[in-house]
Structure 1
Amino acid sequence: MSPKKVLILGLLLLVPIFLFLFLKGFGTNHYSLQTYYPEIDSTTELPVVKSGDTVFQKIPDFRFVSQEGKTVTQATLNNNVYVANFFFASCQDVCKKMSAQMVRVNEAFRNNPQVKLVSYTVDPERDSVAVLKRYAEMYQADAAKWLFLTGSKKELYTLAQNGYKVAAMQAPGSVPDFIHSEKLILVDKGKHVRGIYDGTNSQDVDRLITEITVLLHSYQQNEK
């Protein structure tokens, strides 16, 4: 093997070590996540970062019903980090891409009870408990880990628009269709938004998985 190939192979083998040391910070995690502010750019659905403001974006309480017919509120998610998105079961394009990426997050943290996933329907008139249960089964979603929620359309849209600061509305026209965000949103144990990601982009979801790991590590450090 040529010296050049040996050098390249050596560098490739060192990448995981450097990544581990970066995330662990040689015992101290120096990579911290932002806490997003209430103002979101309506065109990009990304936070408008401001300095000197201590008011953080916090998800308000809600009360919906899961695919198991159980009532779910913010209290259900106490002491959990969770990833949220908005979808509807009959969506044939974007929602399937988002759900496939949510599966990746689910698999990455399948054995960690502190991480949950929450998918809110924007089509509650058709997405009944039974429909959501079938949809969940398509993605092998454990109801203890991944919640699919339905409820009042007004309350769902208000939560999306005023709580998560993302789009959710019925599209104009006679055929039922819906405009909703493609974002996956990371929420910490204090119900604050800590990350916003493109739910159709696998690389951005890689970043989400990494940042969940970082967030969990920060909690572990604080508990010591």
Structure 2
Amino acid sequence: MNPKKVLLLGILLIVPALVFLFLKGFGTNHYNLRYYYPELDDTYEVVMQDGDTVFRKVPDFSLISQEGKTVTQRDLDNTVYVANFIFTSCQGICKQMSSQMTRVQEKFRQDPSVKIVSYSVDPTRDSVQVLQQYADRYNADPKQWIFLTGAKKEIYELAQHGYLLPVQESADGTVDFVHSEKFILVDREKHVRGIYDGTSQKDVDRLLTEIEILQYGYKQNEK
């Protein structure tokens, strides 16, 4: 047989197989979210274990919800959750953040494995009753969207050293506070897997998608 015909025949046989394998790959989700905040040792070197980077976990806490219940990390076990920091008298970005957070609640209202945790950076004023009123304003379901208050030192430590977000009282002593507009996505293992601008609809769109990606990964592993 003519060598050119042999080559052409080979190409005709191989190409369909390659196309099939390429298209088959579209049926599998290969996208994984990154991990944030690697652990550092005393010399600020990244901690490694079995050749893999060790990533920090959000530490435990014990705070009070809008229902007056004690909430700890244990109450968030086996859930993916979105965290942020607000205060109820905020006239600035907190309203935008809480409005965007209602989108998260509505998207996953039927999924008990997705939670929302909003910490008050003004626990002195944000009592249980005040938090409940604020939660009602945004139709927050306490089974899914938890507002937390408690010891100021614990909340600030958690923000600064747990989520690595800036939070502090304003320098002039007014009721305003310096805090981040970020939403933090935390996985079931308490690792930070996403950081988003909580005032941006586009960025919250990305958050909604990435929650689904995390959930899909867990469902695949459970099969």
Relative to the length of structure 2, the TM-score reads: 0.82
CA contact (8 A) 1:37 1:50 kept: no
AA at the equivalent of 1:31? Y
Structure 1 residues without counterparts, runs of 5 or longer: 1-21, 40-48
Cα distance change, pair 50–184 in 1 and its aligned pair in 2 (3 A): farther
Aligned to 2:80: 81
Question: Does the 8 Å contact 2:47/2:54 carry over to 1?
Answer: no
In the comparison of the two structures, how many residue pairs are matched?
193
Can you list the C-alpha shifts for 1:153-174, whole angstroms capped at 9, x where unaligned? 1100000000000011111114
C-alpha contact (below 8 Å) 1:80/1:115 kept by paired residues = yes
One-letter amino acid matched to 1:147:
I
SS of aligned partner of 2:98: helix
Q: List per-residue Cα deviations over 1:15-53 (Å, max 9, x = no partner).
A: xxxxxxx9xx644221110111248xxxxxxxxx99976
Q: Secondary structure at the match of 2:37?
A: coil
1:121-136 aligned within 5 A: 121-136=120-135
Measured after TM superposition, the shift of residue 175 of structure 1 is 1.9
After TM superposition, the score normalised by the length of structure 1 is 0.82
Q: Percent identity?
A: 64
- One-letter code aligned to 1:150: T
AA aligned opposite 2:172: G
Show the counterpart of 2:186: 187
Q: Distance in 1 between matches of 2:197 and 2:47?
A: 22
Match of 1:34 in 2: 34
Partner residue, 1:14: none
Are 1:146 and 2:145 counterparts? Answer: yes
Task: State the secondary structure of the residue aligned to 2:195.
Answer: strand
Q: Could you list the runs of 5+ residues in structure 2 that have no partner in the other structure?
A: 1-22, 40-45
C-alpha root-mean-square deviation of aligned residues, in Å?
Answer: 2.1
Q: Which has the larger radius of gyration?
A: 2
Verify the 8 A CA contact 1:37 1:56 in the aligned structure 2. yes
Shift of 1:122: 0.2
Q: Which residue of 2 aligns with 1:105?
A: 104
CA contact (8 A) 1:35 1:57 kept: no
**Which stretch has the larger CA shift, 214-223 or 165-174?**
165-174
Within 5 A, what are the aligned runs for 1:47-58?
54-58=53-57
8 A Cα contact 2:123 2:150, kept in partner: yes
Per-residue deviation, residues 57-86 of structure 1 (Å, max 9, x unmatched): 210000000000000000000100000000
3-state SS of paired residue (2:85): strand
SS of 2:129 mapped into structure 1: helix
Match of 1:31, SS state, is coil
Deviations 1:90-133 (A, max 9, x none): 00110000001100111110100100000000000000000000
Match of 2:195 in 1: 196
1:163-192 CA distance string (max 9 Å, x none): 000011111114221000100000000000
Contact 1:105–1:209 under 8 Å retained in 2? yes
Q: How far apart, CA to CA, are the structure 1 residues paired with 2:108 and 2:196? A: 17
